[in-house]
Structure 1
Amino acid sequence: MSTSTPTSILSRGISVYSIPPELLSNLSVRSIQAQPSESEPTSRSPKAIVSAQTNLPGAAGLSCQTCPNANFETVEEQRAHFKSDWHRYNARAKLTGRAVGAEEWEGMVEGVSSISGSESSGSSSTTSSSQSKVARLLKRQTIGNPNGDGGSDDDEALELADRQRRAHLRTAVIWFSPTTSLPSLGIPQDTQFGVHRALFPPFDTAADYLTELKRMQLTGNEEENGERRLTLLMVAGGHFAGMVVSIRPRGKTEKQDVKGAGDVRVLKHKTFHRYTTRKKQGGSQAINDNAKSKAVSAGAMLRRYGEAALQEEIRSLMVDWEEDLAASERIFIRASTHGKKSFYGFDGAVLHKNDERFRTFPFPTRRPTLQELLRCWHELTRIKVSHLSEDALRALDQEYIASLQPKNKPVKPTPTITPLPAAPAVPKLTPEEEAKIDRRKRLEDMIRKGRLDALKPFWTKYQAEFNSSEILGFVALNDQEEILKYLLEEEKLDPTKPIETSNNKRAYELSANKNIRNVFRRVAFNHPEWYDWVSDARVPSGLSDELEAEQNNKKSERRKGLKEKLKEREKQRAVGIEQDEKLAEEKQKAEEAMKVTAMTLGGGSTNNKGPQKLGGKVGGEGLGGMSQEMRMQIERERRARAAEARFGRR
């Protein structure tokens, strides 16, 4: 007879509030604090694990997770225990070996006098003395560091324990693992189940979460634990979505509101939208007003009105949902700091800012819609499942704890004064060299200002100190025609020499405009025998007086022609304007004549609401299609009737 393999419950989603009893009874909290150290064997028998679970905190009242069988009746007793030597010893011993019970601790400290020192244990000296004595006791029991350096190892152990506690308290998901494999449910032992921490109250110890998870299960008894209710609220970008969800035990006879959801009922839901955010603006209008000057556009006023209306609608809805909000054990809110003002912080608010039921969504959310709220509900209330080996889990724990270690600022090494390399000695100029530099500056200043009279004697006296090609190029570049002509014709500076500082260009190629180029061309025409003007000086051609006069005449004629064209165009424009004015005047006269005719035909009224176009009906009689003579005859008859009427009134 073949045996069928049982279907695993992992193939369907498991609700946090409806965990199978067989699985729930075999769960243990998988906390970083509760994990065995590397020196402790990882393979333990199921019986030993079950026996260890009976000592977990939260099994009955207040307890200590580190010290075995340490239970307390009040919080004060628990806090005092955390300051005791027994607890400090177990906090170190658990990291390196095992923890000891109360009786074993009494036997260990027998004969050791005053480990904790005097009663004034609050002082730093007493505390450090107590810690060192606990460390020596650890070394005596061969649990501590065999090297004998207990002080630093003791501090490291305390720091590691603190990091473990912070790592446990910072995780967004509380993980549970079965103590044994469950073949009947199709669950292997290397399975982890995760529940979002936001569903639990804030606890300081890991085992309290298991007790709370058991309390959260639906029992089917209305009076005891028959319903769990959550409220989800979102507001962003002018969109609001709210929902109150209830989960009840299966087997209820009332009609389910959500198809396929089983024991889930949406008691209340509401969505609406207001125009509060300009596209691509990057925030609401209120945020934009606070960051910049207040806009006065019509769109900005609409967005301000939308924000006020949205806030008022949300506050009114919170008042309507007051009973459901009061019955909710958790209230999840997604809103900005400005958006939270819609839920609390105003007169008559149902919710209060310091409400312990408030939670934020522990995962990213999208635009507030009813569909998004349902997705968030399923994400919050469905157990997460993973399959990781003990080695992989231990590696993840160590990596996470290491990430919480405070990063010490690197100690800046004492800078060693390194002698700077000696700067190259700047050669000191002789008086003659300084005088040459000064004369070069004076010459350039004369060229820029066009002072030819001052330049002539200066150049005659000091021309041997200057590079003639560079000076010629400098003159051409600064648009000085008279100085250029003087240097070319009278001083006969050579324009064919390349200028090294200008990529071996010639002086002609550095000309600032056409007038400077014409100076070179005139000299080339007047003295063609001096240089090879075309090849060496790169002057394209000479410029004679006749050619220049001809060019000037052509330019004058061209300008004259342009002026005549402009005058003709202005004349035509004036004629066109005059014609347009005459046409407009004639049109105005024609319109006035038509108005007079219409008044006459219509009995002198200009307020006729009927058509006023030619050929239409005026005064009830159609004149369209009549000749001019017939219209004049009708006009005479009307005037005659009007005159008779006036005589009759007399």
Structure 2
Amino acid sequence: MADRKDDLLRRPLYFYGIPADVLPTLTPAPKDNATGTILSPAETPAGSSTPKNNEGISADTPAASSEACALCNLSFASHADKRDHFKSDLHLFNIKQKLAGKPAVSEDEFERLIGTLDESLSGSEWSESDSLSDVDEEDEEGADIDDTVSVATTGTSGTANVLSSLLKKQAVLAEKKKKAGQTGKKASDSSDDDDEATVSVPRVKGQKQRQREAAVNASLQPLIWFSSPLLPPNTYFGVYRAMFSDKELSPKQDVHGNEVTLADEDEAARSARILSAIHSRQLAPMSAPPNNAAAAAAGTTSTGVPTYAGRHIFMCMIGGGHVAAMVIALAPRKGKAGTVPMNREATVLAHKTFHRYTTRRKQGGSQSANDNAKGAAHSAGSSLRRYNEQALVEDVRALLSDWKPLLDTAELLFVRASGTSNQRTLFGPYEGQVLHRNDARLRSFPFNTRRPTQKEIMRCFIELTRLKVREIAPQQSSTDETQASLTATLANEKSVAAAQQRQQRQAERKAAAKRAEEEETSLLHTNQLQALVRRSKVPALLSYLSSNDLTANTFRFFPLDSPQNYHAPTLLHYAASQNAPALVNALLLRADADPTVTNGDGKTPFELAGDRPTRDAFRVARSELTDKSVNIDWDAARVPAPITRADAEQREAREKAEATRKETERRRAEEARLKEEAAAEKKKAGGTGNSVSQKRLVGVLKSAEDIRQEEARGLTPEQKQRLERERRARAAEARLRQMNSS
């Protein structure tokens, strides 16, 4: 038995060719188990295909951790499933119930409410125009594109209408009860009146009724689950609901002709009906065609398209100018040693794929949609796309006309038509129409599909006709209220903890972003201020500090750990190290800089000053600030005794005069010496005075700066720079020669 169970989990099972030992053991799973949580997927074969979303992730593969909805008391396999549940009608309805102060309903109760919606809507106190959208007012023959097919394809607008109808129904019933209470009439009498009104009004099943049914079917689970003793515990077979007809899933009348809903039907009748439908779909294996799929047909029509008397389905996808269609026989092929057919063994009766350039590249949307929204364009590309759209319509309708014998006898019609124009292409109305929106065989693909191709059509066929094997945890019983409340409490605690973690992460991200912004701003200020200090731009420096709300007393260069900022962290440190007395004076007297701040080595700005004028600037500032009664600990700043600005200027003038006097005396002594040497050489050589000593004498009469100015006179700035580089290079070479000789 264990080997048999493992074999069922590994091998693919074909829905139209279930093995004889498996078929009798199938039993529809109870709703409580069928709506449980998928614990771990056990996909049947290695070659079986699972529907994937646009990112290529399997749509049926759950996450390792489960999540729950405390409001609806449901658990989910992944966060994606939980997110989808938050968009479902059940969750939205329970939110409305909670806001109204009413208890939440379970999934079965919600289905029962939807099942009884039609009967409530048909009463005299309820108007269908209140529950359906404006498109419902159109009749069955003149309906536009947004009708039953669009509802069956998307299931969004229809379910929204049903939810709106259900909420409006409750509001009407509540209003009726309120009025009955005010007039003294009992609520039971009002209910009886509703029943009588329901019976008295005849119900005609038309487009509106089909829209409701399509919306209800879209709100159900896409898979029907079956149990079998051949499977491990809590493991079930799954078949897509779309493979059954509406009568097989939910008959509207019993044997006596009375209307029956899913809520009124017992479990035994439901199981017998579904099992009978499965047995009726079992087909005998067929032999492989000798050459191709068309050769397996019994004959061909006048157009050359094969006819087929067996059971088959039609599958078509159209979107973005891509079209793919295929007619596939449902009878399984005879395999080797009773193997189950794989995708390469499917009998394709007819297939066709083609493409037309109709979409606007890099802009999206068809040309017709753009023309309807913005008006007709007049470019060459737009004309080509309009022509291709019309050609695509003609090609598709011609193909459907050629395949009409196969489509008329097909068991199911699976169509995916995205967009209004694509639906109009298939469903018209037009002369010789083949597909009709009110066809009971019409289905949409109950999973995500990719670009229409022959390979994608075959993948969808495999997905639809293969039995799924899943392990499903049964839902907890309704009597276990303690466990349910505990689960809800844990879910709420997890939600609160997750919310707190999200808030903490958001706060950390905001703090990090704020720190990064502050650091970037500090770095910008540092670069600008240091550049102004290096160029001794006193007015520009003071203006920058004022315009950016910066103070020289508190601003620190960034980053502090860099060698330059470690040595000179403040503006006053940096100005003193650059030997800029004018900046030091301005920072102390006009920018309120603090001279007591120390750098990383414990030195004050005064200790970084490299010349006397800069140090005198500190002493002058000490004198002037003391007179202004500014309290600064100058001893902590290590600034010597103060001096006045006049004393500093006088001493500077005396030092300059003394330096000028010494330079003049030196020049005179050197000139006298050269004259004596020149006279001695002239006397010794008896020359006329054109000697080297006279040249040296002429040179010594001029200073080095005068000589440099004479050499650079009349040169362009580029030539002056080149001359200065050459002069420095010669000086460096001379120093190197002197070092080498010594």
Q: TM-score range by the shorter chain?
A: 0.3 to 0.5
TM-score (norm: length of structure 1) = 0.38
Report the TM-score, using the length of structure 2 for normalisation. Answer: 0.34
**Larger RCO of the pair (alpha carbons < 8 Å, separation 6+):** 2
The structure having more radius of gyration, on CA atoms, is 1
